[in-house]
Amino acid sequence: MQKIRKNFNSNVLAFVMMIILLISIIILSFIQSEWWDDSAEVNPPLSKQSSQFGAPIVCEIVKYRDLTGDGRPNQANLQCDLAGKGSMTDLVTVLDKGNDMTNSADWIASTDFENDVWVFDYHGDNQPELIIDFKKDSSGMIANMYDVQDREKGLAYHFWNGELSLETDQPPSVRVVAPNGWWMQDLNINFNLDIFVDGAVNAVFQAEILANYLKTDGELDFQIHIRDLDDDGRPDIDWRTIKTDNPNIARLVALSYLTVNTKDDETPLVPKFAWPYLGNKSYGYLTSSPGFLGQPPIQIDWETGRILAISEFVASRSNESQWFVYSHNLLESDKVNEINFEAPFAWYDLAQDQDKHPELAIRSWYAPPNDPFFLNGRFPYAVNHIRYAWDQDNDNSWDYKLGLVGRHEIESIVSLSNLDLKMVPYEDLPSWVNEKSWDIVTFVANEGSEVAGEGIYIWDVQTPIIENYYVGWQDTHPDKNQFDGIMPDSLQTVLETISFGGGQAGSVGGPGSVGGPGSVGGLGNLGGLGDMLVSLRRLGYPLQVGFRAEYQHTLQDQVKLYLSPVDRKLHLQHAVEGTWLMTDQTEMVYLDTDNDGYFDTWQYKLYDQVISQLILGSGYVIYADDTQVVLKRTDLLPSLIEVQPPSTHEEWLDLQTILGFVRTASLDNDLKTMFDQFSGETWHISKATMENFHLASDGFHFALNLAHDFSSTGFAEQQLQGVTPGSYVLSYDGTFALRSQTSSNLSLDIQFPTVEAITSDAPVRMRIAATNTGLEDAKDLMLVIVGRTSEGAVKIGPIRLI
């Protein structure tokens, strides 16, 4: 019995051992094949809530595999929706190189981005679109990113003994280095990164222009430095450089791009994938408009298998506390860098409402003396071109803009870590603009349109004006047609004969906002791009319906604005002329006929014909249309208040209060309504018209046309008693006088140079004075001079005198 019991115990023990062995074999077999298969959804730590560019990249674990037979998983197969289209048909394979993959239902917990290879297969067709080889070495965490350079060759790869190799032997298109890891200790995303780009990736503004120059060939094309100065998970500095020795590239686009957030309030990045920098195709290089959540900067086009863009980590636009620099000169560490081009473009929160919609934008274009990118280095002075745009009523639409041109060499230095820049400091730039004197000025007011973006482009001072008139190569001053982008025939000829085939061509682009950044000289074969630059340079940004524009081409003073008592609008002090394009057929024209710095004449035009006009000066306000002339005595001054453009929160509030006060009563933009708002003794002449009004410091005179049934009432009605219908000149110099109009009587006084003063191939100066002793204005006076030489007649002209 004891023997039987002993045999029984032995048999039970053997049976138990057999069961344990069998279970172990089954487990081991299962581990070696696919020891986890879970069709239930794994909850990733990423929200599935839709955003502007689709849902996050959602993945589910399908299986783990042990490729080496050591009992540990080293491959994870994921089923994903890479493009956020709601279809889990894409495959992601994770190959473990660090022997640290675990058997977890949470694939994020079992994988990492240290020593793994991630293979992304869009549509799951065994043709990968992206491979990321993650490494860790003494320089930190590294991600080598390979995309599809050739669709036929694809991204075939081998993974053996923990090493990745590609059949195409191509270098990575993007290399991301994080010295301190992908996350900070507090789990904030790390934004201290160095990124190296090889190939045609949209990594700088307008990089698409360079597409034909760039290829993934092992040579570095772009270098990007991202810095989070206080390690709070919000980047502060984004510095990018185009690495090239090709001079053509330096003339097509800026070489250096720097963006700085001054308030550490960058829009938080909302990851789409477990590695936070990776996302789908979204907005390209530039960031989205204000209010949107931050999108992952490394954007993949899954359809083509290309890394489409590495967008801004720090938004150059779409915020209200940042500035950026674009420079043709290469910005380098540990030296004082002279910036040429946008230096800087800055945004300000004048309302102090922190709504990420700036109320002030300043674009400061700068060319230092003898800048090779401005007139091929042939101009010995610095040139500044400023666009100063602000939103006065805080409705997220730009209301006013100044275009300024001057010569102010920049000497101040701004220091950023190991980068020193010659530029006006961000916090000083608004007041600096107000303190300086400016030579050419345009002022544009938005009269009811919605304008977003970088400011009001209309009537930016066009490149040909700066490169010809301002530098002294064009004698005649620009008029409103040139500010509208319509160049004189002489300049049109120059533009049309610019050679884009190489050699020393003229400069194109330059300080205006058209034609791309900087000046373009000998570019090689640009083809259609050259034609585009010439076309843009010719067209500019003309006046549009709903905008009012004014200009002064020889201000040489600080900029001041004034509020007119007539129309209760802000105007540019010392403006030569102004135009408000009210509709496609109608406009309001503003004139300063006595050159005292204030508009004195308002003309309402229909199809370029004056329908009515209002004039203020010499103690009178005068209204005239095609049926009447009305004079009213007034002690009205031409300005209610004079201000500079707002540069601080307090100045912005003060101007808002002033404008709100004067706009309480609507004038309907009608000249007769404007005239009727003033009280005073009136002289009304009905069935009469007015022409050729001339205002002087001591009075005025104009042509008065009286119909057969005219009538006169008011304080000076006796002036027309007994007067027969006809044309007269009514003058005022303290008293009124009426004279019959006489025809113009012209005489010319021409002073020719002496024969001795005339030399071959040298300009000849002649003095020509035209005098009109008649009472009728002489208009469109043209002069033609015909001389004779031994070779025959020589014609000069026609030259417009009036």
pLDDT given for residue 800 in this prediction: 66
| 403: nearest Cα among 351, 470, 356 | 470
Supply the mean pLDDT for the chain. 84
Helix (H, G, I), strand (E, B) or coil at 513: coil
Write down the H helix ranges in 479-604. 480-483, 489-496, 528-539
How many CB atoms lie under 10 A from the CB of residue 635? Answer: 6
How many CB atoms lie under 10 A from the CB of residue 177? Answer: 17
Span 394-420, average pLDDT: 96
d(CA 549, CA 639): 18
More confident residue, 287 or 694: 694
Each residue's pLDDT tens digit, 496-545:
433 333 333 333 333 433 333 333 232 233 334 334 333 433 446 789 99
Each residue's pLDDT tens digit, 577-617:
999 999 999 999 999 999 999 999 999 999 999 999 999 99
CA angle 659, 661, 665 (to 5 degrees): 105
The region of weakest confidence among 132-136, 154-158, 561-565 is: 154-158
pLDDT of 224 higher than 50: yes
Q: Kind and range of the H or E element at 16?
A: helix 2-32
d(CA 519, CA 88): 50
d(CA 193, CA 275): 14
pLDDT given for residue 785 in this prediction: 76
| 426: nearest Cα among 225, 557, 258, 291 | 258
Look at strands 440-446 and 419-422 and give their pairing.
unpaired
d(CA 160, CA 169): 15
**Residues contacting 713, CB < 8 A, separation 6+:** 683, 684
Return the half-sphere exposure (C-beta side, CA atoms, 13 A cut-off) of residue 158. Answer: 6
Each residue's pLDDT tens digit, 184-212:
888 899 999 999 999 999 999 988 888 88
Please state at what angle helix 489-496 crosses helix 528-539, rounded to 10 degrees: 170
Q: Kind and range of the H or E element at 27?
A: helix 2-32
End-to-end CA distance of the chain: 140
Backbone conformation region of residue 653, classed left if phi is above 0, alpha if psi is from -120 to 50, else beta: alpha
8 A C-beta contact, residue 736 and residue 719: yes
Instruction: Write the secondary structure of 140-190 as one string of H (helix), E (strand) and C (coil).
Output: EEEEEEEECCCCCCCCCEEEECCEEEECCCCCCCEEEEECCCCECCCCCEC
pLDDT of 159 higher than 90: no
Buried b or exposed e, range 336-365, using 16+ CB within 10 angstroms: ebbbbbbbbbbbbbbbeeeebbbbbbbbbb
More confident residue, 475 or 516: 475
| Token output for 203 | 């990594």
- Phi, psi values for residue 651, rounded to 5°: -65, -40
Backbone conformation region of residue 62, classed left if phi is above 0, alpha if psi is from -120 to 50, else beta: alpha
- Phi, psi values for residue 313, rounded to 5°: -80, -35
8 A C-beta contact, residue 403 and residue 441: yes
The region of weakest confidence among 22-26, 137-141, 385-389, 440-444 is: 22-26
pLDDT given for residue 535 in this prediction: 40
pLDDT given for residue 162 in this prediction: 73
Q: What is the CA radius of gyration of the chain?
A: 37
d(CA 146, CA 162): 17
Span 38-63, average pLDDT: 53
